[in-house]
Structure 1
Amino acid sequence: MKLAYWMYAGPAHIGTLRVATSFKNVHAIMHAPIGDDYFNVMRSMLERERDFTPVTTSVVDRHVLARGSQEKVVDNITRKDSEEHPDLIVLTPTCTSSILQEDLQNFVERASIEAQADVLLADVNHYRVNELQASDRTLEQIVHYYIDKARKQGNLAESKTEQPSVNIIGISTLGFHNQHDCTELKRLMADLGITVNTVIPEGASVHELKNLPKAWFNLVPYREIGLMAARYLEQEFGTPYIDITPMGVVETARCIRRIQEVINAQGGEVDYEDFINEQTLHVSQAAWFSRSIDCQNLTGKKAVVFGDSTHAAAMTKILAREMGIHVVWAGTYCKYDAEWFKEQVSEYCDELLITDDHTQIADAIARVEPSAIFGTQMERHVGKRLNIPCGVIAAPIHIQNFPIGYKPFLGYEGTNQLVDLIYNSFTLGMEDHLLEIFGGHDTKEVITKGISAGSDLGWNKEAQAELNKVPGFVRGKVKRNTEKFARERGLNEITLEVMYAAKEAVGA
């Protein structure tokens, strides 16, 4: 753990709460001090939920510190059980309350005696894992619990469905475009003649988990949530899983061909080649658009990519392989998944960055000065300061990344959304330039600032006026090059003479 004002992945309890609140009729009890209870506000705002988020905070206060919290936690569990009548109650501490080293498993066992609902303690190390890892572990724990329970009660599904079927694993609340992706995946499966057995955790009941073994295969669209559950189901029932993210024309086709292999290996007789060709030629606009005169102008342009493993790897491949764009570097904050990420993207970019330090990413962007950034909301903020457009492709996200309209990133409709995002990200710079020429909202004198506070030097009146004459879409680069020139020579003020000297130094 480290102190930071920006985290790409939140603390572990956020991951547990994401999974718990994605299921229907599951309530979460968060054992935490006031201040750790922001999940309710965040979920209600971002997901635009009409109902109250099913999370209750069992507050750790000075009374708890003095007398212990066992009675309070047990009372909160039994109270919510009688008020809400949930199927499952999940108890989770936070990093802060974990310091108390309380025996929460004992609290759960005590509460289970009185409660009608099942009660589980989230089995997560809050000091060692982040939000995404905790989500993955919590989902696997709940699946494991209900598979064992069904086995003991003798009502666990034993046989596969008659027709090919799939479990879609990992769709959750607060996921990046998860709801739209889920709709697109369901449409894709229907087009392939595959029945969706269940989707977990989003919208599923824990009572449905006993039916997971009926599916012919499991589809895990995002590596960050669902792999542990899929591997458990493969170990227990031999159910194969597919973890190819159908994002972009090439990877969507590869995912479908892998589904075909899995189905045919179990006695099915499917051939999806005609479907792939039809979708690529007539449904997805990405294939022809990437070869159009519009996109030819993007060939060789520089871009950088950063995000979670799933989206950063997929976007890197799309940019390099499908759009002909030069990916200078690609990176992920999922350090625990570094080997997989390197294996996926090494041949499609010049450099790899595996870090969760936002300052390293900001400096790397400033160093290469790409034409466009594809990253998280943090990279979008960095891009605004450097006047470099950014397309947001991964969490952490903002309210604008929960669109009301239909915007999946997966499947063939997703390819259309991605092409729009890529193309528009590269062209907005010229739009600013035209606004400046013909008049418009973009009348601010200084567009960009440096990444750190120490990067701003004094500009005298004449130099500032000269800088304002530079077209908007290159002004940031001129400003940064001039300031770099001045710092290297120990100058504190930038004059016209310094500007001209810097221009000569870079051969402009």
Structure 2
Amino acid sequence: MKLAYWMYAGPAHIGTLRIASSFRNVHAIMHAPLGDDYFNVMRSMLERERNFTPVTASIVDRNVLARGSQDKVINNIIRKDKEENPDLIVLTPTCTSSILQEDLANFVERAQMDTEGDVILADVNHYRYNELQAADRTLHQIVKFYLDKANKKCELPNEKTKNPSVNIIGISTLGFHAKHDCTELQKLMKDLGITVNMIIPEKASVHDLKNLTKAWFNLVPYRELGLSVAKYLESEFNIPYIDITPIGVVETAKCIRKIQQVINEQGKNVNFEDYINKQTLYVSEAAWFSRSIDCQNLTGKKAVVFGDNTHAAAMTKILAREMGIDVVLAGTYCKYDAEWFKEQVSEYCGEVLISDNNGEIANTIARLEPSAIFGTQMERHVGKRLNIPCGVIASPIHIQNFPIGYKPFCGYEGTNQITDLIYNSFTLGMEDHLLEIFGGHDTKETITKGISANSDLNWNKEAQTELNKIPGFVRGKVKRNTEKFARERNLSEVTIEVMYAAKETIGN
């Protein structure tokens, strides 16, 4: 275990709670100390939920530590079963329960004797898996539990739906624009004449999971969540899956053509080429915009992309392939799936960075000096410090990335939203000098020592004043070049003389 200043993916129990609270009439019990129950507040705030989050904390306190927690956990499970009448209760391990080495599986077995609903223990190792991995494993575990249960009762459907149908797998609470993406994907399927058989886990009933086997194919829009379920359904029930994320004009068309292929292989004759052409020409403005003078002005500008695998790979392809922007770095914090990411982005970017160390990423951005960043809220903070604009494209995110208005990233409407995000991220960053001239927000005299905490350089007052006279949109570059000049000469303080010497040498 390591102490983290910032984490890109939360601990395992957050992933499990995301899945449990996404299903309808499923309750989660988290065995943890007071303070670890922040998930309830976070979900209520970000998702603007009107109802209470169905998560109960079974608190570990000094009494539990003295006597053991078996009775408390079992009583909490039985109590919630009577109060809420859930279809399923998921007991969630945490770091604390792992440290205490408690036999949670035995607690579940004991509690199941006195409950009406089902009770399972989330099978996630708190030290081995992060939030995304745990969410994927928990969804797989729940799906398998109910399909096995239906199979034992001979309740599994024997036939597919009459017309082509799809399961959309991986739409969950706290997903990045996930609900809007889901709406867009439903519209897309309707346009293609495909019935949506099930959407899981969001708002699904666990008792309906047996109907997953009726679909012609599965669509997994986000690689981080749902891929293991899709692979399980393919191996056990011969249901093909599509994991091409329909983000961007090219990838959306590629996804639709793959859907066409999968349907035709099952005896149906469909052709979606006319639909693709119509959507590309008249619904998506991205294809037109890429040929406009506005987009041409962005050609060759440098950008850094960082996020989860799905969104970082998609954005890298859009910037490089569809808009002619130079992606100098594409990175992801999903280290467990690094090979896939490298395969997807290597031909579209200058460097690939696989890391979950925010300091390393920040320093790399400072070194590359891009015109814009497309990343998480963490990279947005880095951009603020470097005076580089940042468009947020992936979790971790802020409440502003849970818009009330309709803002999907998937599908053809998603292409319009992404195009606006890209264009605005580049152009709005050019206005700092105007804000300064006319008295704007960027006139404070705060000088940071560097993007990471290991800088040992100080700026004296005279040098700070001179630096603040430089327009904001180039000030960060001047500061970094000056500090680089000073370090190379083993100087511990930046004075105005050092600034002038650096300007003459480097040509700031």
TM-score normalized with structure 1 length? 0.98
Query: Which residue does 1:464 correspond to in 2?
Result: 464
Deviations 1:285-318 (A, max 9, x none): 0011111111111111111111111011111111
Q: Deviations over 1:419-456 (max 9, x none)?
A: 11111111122111112223334332347652134437
Amino acid of the structure 2 residue aligned with 1:322: E
Contact 2:256 2:272 in 1 (8 A): yes
CA offset at residue 497 of structure 1? 2.2
In structure 2, the gaps of 5 or more residues are none
Match of 1:437 in 2: 437
* 3-state SS in 1 of match to 2:113: helix
Looking at structure 2, the residues matched to 355 and 453 of structure 1 have their Cα atoms a distance apart, in angstroms, of 18
8 A Cα contact 1:21 1:54, kept in partner: yes
Cα distance change of structure 1 residues 7 and 453 upon mapping to structure 2, 3 Å threshold: closer
Tell me which amino acid in the other structure corresponds to 1:294.
Answer: D
Q: Which amino acid aligns with 1:238?
A: N
What is the alpha-carbon distance in structure 1 between the residues aligned to residue 181 and residue 458 of structure 2?
48
Report the residue type matching 2:443 in the other structure: T
RMSD over aligned Cα, in angstroms? Answer: 1.3
Amino acid at match of 2:444: K
1:425 matched residue in structure 2: 425
**Matched ranges for 1:23-34 at <5 A:** 23-34=23-34
- Larger displacement relative to structure 2 (149-158 or 163-172): 149-158
Tell me which residue corresponds to 1:507: 507
* Contact map agreement 1:386 1:449 (CA 8 A) in 2: no
SS at match of 1:120: strand
301-310 or 489-498, larger mean C-alpha shift: 489-498
- After TM superposition, list the pairs within 5 Å mapping 1:315-464 onto structure 2: 315-446=315-446, 450-455=450-455, 457-464=457-464
Matched, 1:180 2:180: yes
Q: Does 1:250 align with 2:272?
A: no
Which contiguous aligned blocks of 4+ residues in structure 1 show a shift greater than 6 angstroms? none
Question: How many angstroms does 1:48 deviate by?
Answer: 0.7
* Distance in 2 between residues matched to 1:331 and 1:380, nearest whole Å: 15
**Quick check: 1:167–1:219 contact (8 Å CA) kept in 2?**
yes
Task: Find the aligned partners of 1:447 and 1:214 in 2 and give their Cα distance.
Answer: 61
**Superposition deviation, residue 384 in structure 1:** 0.6
Q: Structure 2: how far apart are the matches of 1:99 and 1:287? A: 54
What is aligned with 2:285? 285
Q: Does residue 148 in structure 1 map to residue 183 in structure 2?
A: no
Match of 2:308 in 1: 308
Relative distance call for 1:298 and 1:447 in structure 2 (3 A) is farther
| 1: CA distance, partners of 2:461 / 2:325 | 39
Once the two structures are TM-superposed, the CA of residue 461 in structure 1 deviates from its matched residue by: 4.3
Corresponding letter in the other structure for 2:364:
A
Cα distance in 1 for partners of 2:411, 2:456 equals 45
Structure 1 CA distance for aligned equivalents of residues 465 and 396 of structure 2: 38
Secondary structure at 1:467's aligned position in 2?
Answer: helix
Q: Deviations over 1:178-229 (max 9, x none)?
A: 0110000000100110000010000101111010001000000001000111
Contact kept in structure 2, 1:448 and 1:476, CA below 8 Å = no
Counterpart of 1:455 in 2: which secondary structure?
coil
Report the AA paired with residue 127 of structure 1: Y
Amino acid corresponding to residue 478 of structure 2 in structure 1: V
- For 1:305, the aligned partner's letter is V
**Cα distance in structure 2, aligned partners of 1:466 and 1:369:** 21
- In structure 2, the partner of 1:276 is 276
- The alignment-based identity, stated in percent, is 81
* Cα contact 1:89–1:120 (8 A) shared by 2: yes
The 3-state SS of whatever aligns with 2:120 is strand
Is the aligned partner of 1:11 residue 2:4?
no
In 2, distance between residues paired with 1:398 and 1:87? 32
Q: Contact 1:447 / 1:476 at 8 angstroms: preserved in 2?
A: no
1:56-135 superposed matches below 5 A: 56-135=56-135
What residue identity is the alignment partner of 2:502? A
Query: More displaced, 74-83 or 458-467?
Result: 458-467
Q: Alignment length, in residue pairs?
A: 508
3-state SS of the aligned residue for 2:391? strand
* Equivalent pair of 1:20/1:27 in contact (CA under 8 Å): yes
Aligned partners of 1:176, 1:189: CA distance in 2, in Å?
Answer: 21
Instruction: State the secondary structure of the residue aligned to 1:350.
Output: strand
Distance in 1 between residues matched to 2:455 and 2:5, nearest whole Å:
20
Distance 2:496 2:67 in 1: 70
Q: 1:447 to 1:276 in 2, by over 3 A?
A: farther
1:479 lines up with 2:479 in the alignment? yes
1:441-489 Cα distance to aligned partner (Å, 9 max, x none): 4332347652134437443444333323322211111111112212221
How many angstroms apart in 2 are the aligned matches of 1:302 and 1:229? 38
One-letter amino acid of the counterpart of residue 395, structure 1? S
Aligned AA (1:145) = F
- Match of 1:114, SS? coil
Whether the 8 Å contact between 2:432 and 2:471 is mirrored in structure 1 is no
What is the distance in 2 between the residues matched to 1:469 and 1:145? 65
Q: Which amino acid aligns with 2:208?
A: E
Contact 2:359 2:452 in 1 (8 A): no
Partner of 1:496: 496
Give CA-to-partner distance per residue, 1:352-384, whole Å, 9 cap, x none: 111111111011111111111111111111111
Show the counterpart of 2:139: 139
- Looking at structure 2, the residues matched to 66 and 246 of structure 1 have their Cα atoms a distance apart, in angstroms, of 53
1:294 corresponds in structure 2 to 294
| Structure 1 gaps, min length 5 | none
Q: Relative to 1, partners in 2 of residues 1:110 and 1:462: Cα closer, same or farther, differing over 3 Å?
A: closer
* Deviations, residues 7-54 of structure 1 (Å, cap 9, x unaligned): 111111100000000000000011111121111111111111111100
Deviations 1:164-188 (A, max 9, x none): 0000000000011101100000001
| Residue 70 of structure 1, CA deviation | 1.2
Q: Distance in 1 between matches of 2:488 and 2:290?
A: 42
**Matched-pair contact (CA < 8 Å) for 2:93–2:124:** no
Rounded Cα–Cα distance in structure 1 between residues aligned with 2:182 and 2:454: 45
**2:13–2:92 CA contact under 8 A, matched in 1:** yes
Offset at 1:103?
A: 1.4
SS at 1:39 equivalent:
helix
Task: State the match for 1:227 in structure 2.
Answer: 227
SS of residue in 2 equivalent to 1:124: coil
SS of equivalent to 2:29: strand
